[in-house]
Structure 1
Amino acid sequence: MMPRNPFRDRGMPVVGDNFVGRSALTRKVTEVWQGTGRPGNLSVIGYRRAGKTSLIRHGLSLMDRSDLAVVQVSVIGYASVFEVFHAVASQLAEQLTDVPDLVPLVERVGAAREWYDLENAVSSLFKEVGRHGRFALLVFEEFDRAPLVLVRLAAFQLLRSLASEPDYPVGLITVSRRPVIDIETDAAGGSRLDGVLGEKCYVGTFTPDEARRLIARSLPVVDLSAVSDEIIRLTGRQPYLLHTLCSRIVDDYLETGVVDVVASYDAETLSFHEYFERLLDDIEAESPDRGRAALLDVVQQVADSPHRLEIRKLSNLGVVEPADGGFHLFSDGFAAFLTDSPALPPDLALEATPDEPRVALVVATEWKSRHGGLSTLNRHLCLGLAAQQVEVYCMVLAATDDEVSEAKKAGVHLLRRPAVEGAPELNSLLRRPELPEGVTPSLVIGHGRVTGSAALVQAEDHFPGSRRLHFVHMAPDEIEFHKLDRTDDVAETAEARTRIELKLGRSAERVVAVGPRLHGRYQNYLSDHDDHEPIRFDPGFDLTDPRVRRPPAGTPMTVLTTGRMEDSSLKGLDIAAGACGLVAGWRHERGLREIELVVRGVPVGAADKTLAMLKDWAANLRLSVVPRNYTPDSELLAEDLQRSSLFIMPSRAEGFGLVGLEAIVAGTPVLISEKSGLGELLKALLGGERAAHWVVPMFGEPVKDTETWARSIEHVLADQQSAFTRAEELRRELADNLSWAKASVALLTEVGF
């Protein structure tokens, strides 16, 4: 049996026996609750992926106090201060079941809608806990997100009171990338809480001994002690980078039987650079215009730097380290990244060899998205690959001069392949493209049944030395049965189209499935002994407009969805109309603002038919229904989203759902079907409880589904401010974790390109 890579947990919180030392930091954390009585307070500060969460969880695993309830809350998971304290109160009740009269107090916290009521309810709750000789330790993770949630200075004052005044049996730990005083100032223009968090725990790099202990985890597979100095020099003992490089070294060793630190480092350069970019973003966010300057002063060994204060801050966090009376950056790789110098130290540099050009040929039909999500994903994929220094040529049937120019500015060369007179349109994609002299693609990419066959011809007939990737965007077995007005045998068509996808996929180097839902299905399809595991490709949530959205004013409130009549069952247009019809009735009975359902995606000339069908499904003449033609104009969709109070995607089956992604990125509140790849992705990233804000269950029963969606829609529309606050929180969290650049890097890394 192939031994397991002991570093597979990179990027995840490390628990149990895998936790490495950090004894000094662990002591500082556990001192908060050691002994008896009220626990203390602590601010845990460190840049991303320094191991803050692992440290806290490790410390808590050592605690042995039956009188102390530990409440852990990730601030990023809640839309308002009311939700945060309700979560705190609920966790207390779950742990202190022996404290009488606690449940009514928890219910008071949950019922509070005004600040005065919340403050009194929270105060009463914790006083009751103290009267029974019990204590509480509140751990607030992702505290950098507090400005989106706590908002007012009074919220920080309440936390300060709980953590300092004698009436309350409370200790407080905050976990953040920035000092709490900066977070408070951003949120409310002043500081109340920082004063009681005087004790700071800075989480930076490992000590040399800790770094070697982590490297020693390789011993079940291979002994890396002889190369530990090289590994430490390249990673700078940064926990995530150390995990990343060790994981790659072990993977390469399992494949080749050779330990080659330099080659493994080179293979992970993209991962290192992505981390360095995010680190710089954090540093610049804390010290605008001064953070990078301080780092460059360290690199250049400026004797009397005007940025001494920033350098001392960076030293606390392990980004710079003392050396010979001065400072140096934590790793040579980071220094090289900053100065755009060679990435490796001279004594580790490889012999200079000319770089082999990385050229990708992508076979598509269009550049702008005139025909749906496949084109949207292809465009972002091409741009993402180009951003990673891949020379990208994209074949399309047609493109305007503006599109060609726009793509070229981003590093993508559009190759127009107009149809040959008398031949099927897609046949033009089978012809060899006219590439510049000496340019030969080493990677060819096709999309599903649409362009997968043309990509096969390009790879096998025209560029036989290239490798081919087959992207899959849908599962015929899921969607064909929901299409209307069929004259063919649905089962036969679904099976035939699935066979085509699998044939194209099996003849490619790898299948690339968009999102978790399709990945799971194609894992099942590709289960034969000779099949390669499909690659999962999660689209990016890059923000296009950083401004915070406001709920739209005026009447009626707009609920937006998309879909064509021929796909109405698949897209759940009957559910959308029926649910909005119910909501319109409920709101009329209570004298609330009217709502309007806007359906974008109607084919030209089909508006009357669509409107009649939607009104029939709505069964409520009070609901205003507006069908809008399909448009490739991204600005029109952006305007739709800006005017909408809610975007809904009640699909009965959806490979992914890029239009839902676009709504999230726009900051519009969304409700997404759990039968979609996007819904599954949100549940996987956020957990079922948090994802329930945005992901709606589907039962396969029209009446029940309609009622469920109606309740979800009404819940969002009933409190627009909270809905938009949650939407802002969601889009920023997803933008931090899933970008097109990250997706492109992961894909290139997976295929070794």
Structure 2
Amino acid sequence: MTDKRYRILVVSNISGMGGGGIPVFNQHITEALAKDHDVTLFTADPDTQPHQGARMVSTPPVPEGAEGRAWIQFQSTIDPRAHGLPDPQERPFDLIVGHSRFSGPAAAELRERWYPDAKVAHFLHTSPERLAEVKYAHDPAHAQAKAARDSRIEREVMDRADVVVGVGPLLTVEAERLSSTGQHVPDSHQLIPGVKIEELVERGPHAGRFNLLVMGRTDDSLKGVDDALRAVKFLNDRGVDVHLTVRGADPETLDKSLKAAERIAGKGNFTIKPFTKDDNELKNDIINADAVIMPSKHEGFGLVATEAAGHGVPVLVNQESGAAQFLGDKGRIAPEIGQPCIVPEPKNPDRRFMSWAKAIGELKADLPQRRENAKQLREALKAYSWDHAAEALVEASMQATSRPRQTEGGHAQERRSATVQGPHGQLVRSGGTSQPENAAAPGPRSAMARAARLTSPGVRPPDGQSQGPRPAEPRPGPAAQRFQLPQSRSGTGRGPGR
């Protein structure tokens, strides 16, 4: 733990509510950093809302047709005083923070051109390989090309960073893998996104419909909304009274989303709500739900899950997510509390909705115990606030060696330092790997890369080559013995809409 007040420049092309997961994450971590340090936020959006405690600086507006990430990188090559950033001669920053390929290149550029005394912390928010593989499963050639391109950008920035920061355990292992092949091997740090502990949601005995909430874009196949709708249809057809609310539709295409959902789930089994920036509306959605589910096919972490858990509302998360690895790490969360929250990923993707239907049915059947588990999880998460995350991030970054170690003979040496954010912001040295206790043994490629059939440089192996072991599936929760999914009437196991 450090008592020193550092000067920090956070670089994020957009920041705040309404721009997606990374902008929301950036606002939380920026405001937490600003409580104990002098923080400047540099964005490409002059209309960014104030971030408490931070000084706001922006590029000129992004030209029409240009991407914010490219614009802020270009603007980083211009004398920073033109934007209102401090004179480089004053040596004004100790640390510069960038986010993945979106603002990481700009952060590295600012350090190398203007602020050479500062250290660079580079966040990894998604796996460039696995994300492309899942999101563009219908177009493997495009997925492979995008994975290779995005991986290259991440590796190039990591080669210029002092420390790579994975958002949660899944992405920390991925960040270590991606950064291990460059000319320089940076330190690594595992950050746990902060949880805001809200007033506990208390409810009496359950009666009536079982209300589920999904928070995510309805037009993004990655979020698994279709699987959730199929699961709800399947359960209702078999007498299990379940209703799904989906928050995240594009207001301009809301009618289209409603019709598409009705074709999958039937009438009366769901509600589609438009995307909102209103924090109170989102809180009300969580408070009114019996459970919040995250059926994404892949999720680097999944802030939705921990946000709901901060209210004491039961959650279900997909196995392939940082949230699942966090909840399944018995060193952090008691197995009887975290393990039932994890929904196994089936070998056959056509049966995903069946896994979710089973998990939802188990939760409903064991609701009193799962509510008690949710209360205990909320208590455990008090040790993982945004302030804790910021404290450990600064300590890990400022302890990083100023110039990462160069590889010898083209092979990466062992990483100099790997740290993990423990409870209450404690910085734990992990002995060269940030894998959690329940992670599979490390190999030449990460579990995500194996699942994506991508090699370390982002290239598919020849057909027939071993892809490595599948991740271990979580143990069933305590209701597993009491709730059994009825067989499909057709006997095929396929649900509606297939």
Q: Is the 8 A contact 2:11 2:97 kept in 1?
A: yes
2:66 aligns with 424
Structure 1 position 551, deviation (Å): 6.0
Residues 243-262 of structure 1: per-residue CA shift (max 9 Å, x gap): xxxxxxxxxxxxxxxxxxxx
1:739 aligns with 385
Q: Secondary structure, in 3 states, of the residue corresponding to 2:298? A: coil
CA distance in 1 between counterparts of 2:250 and 2:264 reads 19
2:147 aligns with 494
* Equivalent of residue 325 in structure 2, options 662, 669, 680: 680
CA distance in 2 between counterparts of 1:584 and 1:364 reads 44
Between 722-731 and 638-647, report the one with greater CA deviation.
722-731
* Equivalent of residue 477 in structure 1, options 129, 141, 152: 129
CA distance in 1 between counterparts of 2:343 and 2:11 reads 35
Structure 1 position 532, deviation (Å): 2.4
Q: Is the 8 A contact 1:482 1:567 kept in 2?
A: no
Structure 1 position 746, deviation (Å): 1.6
**Structure index of larger Rg:** 1
1:522–1:439: structure 2 CA closer, same or farther, 3 Å change rule? closer
CA distance in 1 between counterparts of 2:211 and 2:118 reads 49
CA distance in 2 between counterparts of 1:567 and 1:640 reads 20
Whether 1:434 aligns to 2:118 is no
CA distance in 1 between counterparts of 2:135 and 2:249 reads 16
Q: Is the 8 A contact 1:579 1:706 kept in 2?
A: yes
Q: Is the 8 A contact 1:551 1:724 kept in 2?
A: no
Structure 2 unmatched runs, 5+? 400-498
Pick the structure with more helix per residue: 1
Structure 1 position 269, deviation (Å): 4.6
**TM-score of the superposition, structure 1-length normalised?**
0.48
* Equivalent of residue 301 in structure 2, options 656, 659, 679: 656
Q: Secondary structure, in 3 states, of the residue corresponding to 1:639? A: helix
CA distance in 1 between counterparts of 2:384 and 2:267 reads 41
Structure 1 position 493, deviation (Å): 1.0
Structure 1 position 622, deviation (Å): 5.8
1:694 aligns with 341
2:112 aligns with 460
Q: Secondary structure, in 3 states, of the residue corresponding to 1:468? A: strand
Matching residue's letter, 1:534: S
CA distance in 1 between counterparts of 2:149 and 2:269 reads 41
2:100 aligns with 448
Structure 1 position 538, deviation (Å): 1.1
Whether 1:512 aligns to 2:159 is no
CA distance in 2 between counterparts of 1:375 and 1:476 reads 18
1:723–1:491: structure 2 CA closer, same or farther, 3 Å change rule? same
* Equivalent of residue 634 in structure 1, options 266, 275, 279: 279
Q: Secondary structure, in 3 states, of the residue corresponding to 1:692? A: helix
Q: Is the 8 A contact 1:515 1:538 kept in 2?
A: yes
1:450–1:385: structure 2 CA closer, same or farther, 3 Å change rule? same
Whether 1:362 aligns to 2:10 is yes
Between 508-517 and 454-463, report the one with greater CA deviation.
454-463
CA distance in 1 between counterparts of 2:249 and 2:257 reads 7
Between 721-730 and 631-640, report the one with greater CA deviation.
721-730
* Equivalent of residue 412 in structure 1, options 42, 46, 54: 54
Matching residue's letter, 1:416: S
Whether 1:378 aligns to 2:9 is no
Structure 1 position 722, deviation (Å): 3.1
Residues 563-585 of structure 1: per-residue CA shift (max 9 Å, x gap): 324422x2122221111112222
* Equivalent of residue 581 in structure 1, options 228, 233, 256: 233
CA distance in 2 between counterparts of 1:526 and 1:464 reads 21
RMSD: 2.7
Matches within 5 A, 1:174-573: 268-269=1-2, 358-387=6-35, 389-398=36-45, 403-404=49-50, 407=51, 410-419=52-61, 421=63, 424=66, 426=68, 427-428=71-72, 430=76, 431=78, 432=80, 433-435=83-85, 440-483=92-135, 489-528=142-181, 530-543=184-197, 545-550=198-203, 556-568=209-221, 570-573=222-225
Structure 1 position 488, deviation (Å): 6.6
Residues 72-120 of structure 1: per-residue CA shift (max 9 Å, x gap): xxxxxxxxxxxxxxxxxxxxxxxxxxxxxxxxxxxxxxxxxxxxxxxxx
CA distance in 1 between counterparts of 2:303 and 2:130 reads 17
Q: Is the 8 A contact 2:168 2:323 kept in 1?
A: yes
Among all aligned residue pairs of Structure 1 and Structure 2, give the percentage whose two residues are the same amino acid.
Answer: 28
Structure 1 position 712, deviation (Å): 1.4
Structure 1 position 540, deviation (Å): 1.8
Q: Secondary structure, in 3 states, of the residue corresponding to 1:583? A: helix
CA distance in 1 between counterparts of 2:218 and 2:201 reads 34
CA distance in 2 between counterparts of 1:481 and 1:494 reads 7
Matching residue's letter, 1:561: V
CA distance in 1 between counterparts of 2:270 and 2:62 reads 43
Structure 1 position 689, deviation (Å): 4.8
Q: Secondary structure, in 3 states, of the residue corresponding to 2:340? A: coil
Residues 713-752 of structure 1: per-residue CA shift (max 9 Å, x gap): 12222344333222111111121x3222222222222122
Matching residue's letter, 2:386: W
CA distance in 2 between counterparts of 1:454 and 1:369 reads 22
Q: Secondary structure, in 3 states, of the residue corresponding to 1:411? A: coil
Whether 1:668 aligns to 2:321 is no
CA distance in 2 between counterparts of 1:367 and 1:739 reads 19
Residues 169-189 of structure 1: per-residue CA shift (max 9 Å, x gap): xxxxxxxxxxxxxxxxxxxxx
Matching residue's letter, 2:262: K
CA distance in 1 between counterparts of 2:62 and 2:2 reads 44
Residues 383-403 of structure 1: per-residue CA shift (max 9 Å, x gap): 22122x2101112233658x3
CA distance in 1 between counterparts of 2:17 and 2:347 reads 31
* Equivalent of residue 714 in structure 1, options 361, 371, 388: 361
Matches within 5 A, 1:600-619: 600-618=247-265
Residues 591-638 of structure 1: per-residue CA shift (max 9 Å, x gap): xxx4221111112322233233333333xx365222222222222111
CA distance in 2 between counterparts of 1:470 and 1:549 reads 40
Structure 1 position 668, deviation (Å): 1.6
Whether 1:644 aligns to 2:286 is no
Q: Secondary structure, in 3 states, of the residue corresponding to 1:523? A: helix
Q: Is the 8 A contact 2:201 2:311 kept in 1?
A: no
Q: Secondary structure, in 3 states, of the residue corresponding to 1:559? A: strand
Structure 1 position 478, deviation (Å): 0.8
1:436–1:530: structure 2 CA closer, same or farther, 3 Å change rule? closer
Structure 1 position 527, deviation (Å): 2.8
CA distance in 2 between counterparts of 1:700 and 1:462 reads 50
How many residue pairs end up in the alignment?
A: 385
CA distance in 2 between counterparts of 1:687 and 1:516 reads 17
2:472 aligns with none
